[in-house]
Every structure is written in structure tokens, then in C-alpha cells.
Amino acid sequence: MRSALILIASVVLVAGCVSDAPAVAPLAESRNESSPRLSEDFANLRAELERSVQFEGVSPEYYDDVGSRINSFAQKGYEVAELMQLLSMLRVGGGEVPSQQIDNQSNQQPENQPQEPKVVIWHNMENGAWVPRGNPPDCPELVFQSPVDLSIVSSIIYPGQVRSGDFKPHGGFRTDDVSGPVEVTAPMAGYIWNAAKFTDEFGLHYTFDIQHPCGIMYRLGHLNAVPEKLDAIFNETKGFRDSRTFLVDPPVFVELGETIATDIQHRAGFDWGVYDLRKENAASQDPVFREAHKDEMSQAYYALCWLNMLPPEQESIVKSLPATDGISGKNSDYCK
């Protein structure tokens, strides 16, 4: 199953943020008109998916096999948007819980226990688009709480700019005047679905990609110490600068305001990137930007300017602080 997922998913974290599911696109004709057998197989797969969405549940193995077949058609030049939408409608592992049973379970929850949203994880396709595995809920109002106490922040790392010679979709914070531990908290509830733990020149390095089921993802990186709950995700620490992430299965839920890190890599600051997986961002509509960042489209085409998505008082503070990067400054392809 994991090997099949690799065909469907790509790296995010951050250590990259639906109302309604996208409309089903009309089926385009194959560009490979000389292969009638392929056209027939494509039509058969569509019919198979249309039947499968009526089932109470399909196996994870079947889901991954269908995803691989869709990727194969995409590589042959077929328009697969409709198949991807049908794939997102499949229920994996069984039917939905009857509404009466859900009501009974919610009534048994202690009043002070946070309600977890249903698990819907979005995966990145080879064409750069993100597709949900399941039916995503509507997104809440996109106003994030700062993941760090802004009174200790010395400068802001702007998202969507070139730093150290490379384009960085994510931003972050520096706390250069603080010598003690810096706590980082979840700016939005969600599921840790992708993570990394390795070493670099700044010491131990944790990265987490966290998704709200509605299609909002954020990445937190350059974290140096994390709670036991999150450290338990990892079986090992990767080697020096081996920043490859892995899929967290099952995903781990974190609530709004929950501690994600008890300290950061002080000489590096820490990263925070926000991504709306439901649709491409405004910057990606520029052909020049699109061509320049086509090799990192899963993040570059979906990243947002989180400085504009904070409560008014916090937004005013972060915009008044100096920019970290001495060359790019506050220039950003996302923050206009």
C-alpha cells in the first residue's frame, strides 16, 4: 500500500491549507487517438469507478490500485480530472457511520473534550493537483492563531521569496533575543500526515505537515524538541540533512493551540507555511512564475501569505516587524 501511495502523493511539510468538492470536469478525448484499446480501457475504468462509489466501502489496496491506473492514463495524455473526482468519492474500509450512532457517540463525549473532525487526507497527484481521499467538510473561517508568542519574535521570514539562492514557499519566525525554550503551538486543528526527524547543522530537526480535512495544510519545521505524543510518531532519527518525510499512518490529530514543539532550532528560527490544497494560488496564474516553479508545484502553486490570515492585532504586529532576509526583505510572490 505504501508503495502505491508514493505514486499518488508527494512531499509536502513544513516540516504547505474546501468548501465544496470541485465540480466534475467533462471527459476529454484521449490524445492518443491511435489506441482504441486504451480508450476502451479508460471508459471501462470510469464505469468501474461510477459503480464503486455506490459501495459501502472499498479496500485500501483497491483504492491505491485505481490511483495507479489513473496516473498511468495521465502519463499517456488523458484528461483524468473526472476520474480523480470519482476516486475522491470512494469510501475506504467500510461504510459511513449511521447519523443516529454518531449523535449517540457525540452525546457521550465529555463537554471539555475537543471534537475531532473526520479524517480526510489530501494527496498530491503527479500533475500537481491535490485530491482528497473522502468527502471533505467545509472549511472554517481561515483566521489562524500565531503559532508563537509574538512578543519574543525578532523578525519575520516572508513566504514566497528567494532565500539562500532557492525559492521558499513557506515563511517563518526568528526569535534571536531569546535564549530559553520557545514553544510552538498548532495554529489550526488538523492531522499530522507527513513528518520528518533528522539532524542538520543546527542539531535535531523535526518537521510536521498538518492537514485540516477541508483542504488546508500547514507545515512547521526547524523544531528541536517535541512532546512525547509527537516524538512517538518516529521509529528512528534519519541521518545528517536527510530531510525526507514519511506518511504518518494513522494520522495523528492535534487540536487548535496544542503544543507542537517545546523548543526550536534557535540559530535557524522556525518555519511556518500555509497551503490551500483546494485551488491554485494567484501567483501560479502568472506564466512566468508557473514555469519557474514547475518542479515544486505541489507547494509553490498552493502556498498562501499567512501574514494576511491572522487576527487583526496579530497581523499588525507581524507586519510591523523587520524581515529576516537581508536581500529579499519583505518582497513576496504571495504577500501583496
Q: State how far the alpha carbon of 102 is from the alpha carbons of 56, 108, 265, in Å.
A: 17, 10, 42
Provide the pairing of β-strand 203-212 with 216-225. Answer: antiparallel
What 3-state class would DSSP assign to 283? Answer: helix
- Name the band, by pLDDT with cuts 50, 70 and 90, for residue 122: very high
What residue spans define the domains of the chain? 22-133, 150-320
pLDDT reading at 4 higher than 70? no
∠ at Cα 118 (115, 119), nearest 5°? Answer: 125
pLDDT digits (tens, 9 = 90+) for 135-182: 999 999 999 999 999 999 999 999 999 999 999 999 999 999 898 999
Proportion of the chain above pLDDT 90, given as a percent: 60
Domain at 150-320: CATH architecture: Distorted Sandwich (2.70)
Q: What is the pLDDT of residues 228-286, one digit of tens each?
A: 999 999 999 999 989 999 999 899 999 999 999 999 998 888 999 999 999 999 999 99
**Cβ-Cβ contacts under 8 Å for 238 (sequence gap 6 or more):** 196, 197, 198, 199, 244
The whole-number pLDDT of residue 285 equals 96
Task: Dihedral sign for Cα 13, 82, 25, 90, please.
Answer: negative
pLDDT tens digits along 20-52: 333 333 333 334 444 566 677 888 888 778 777
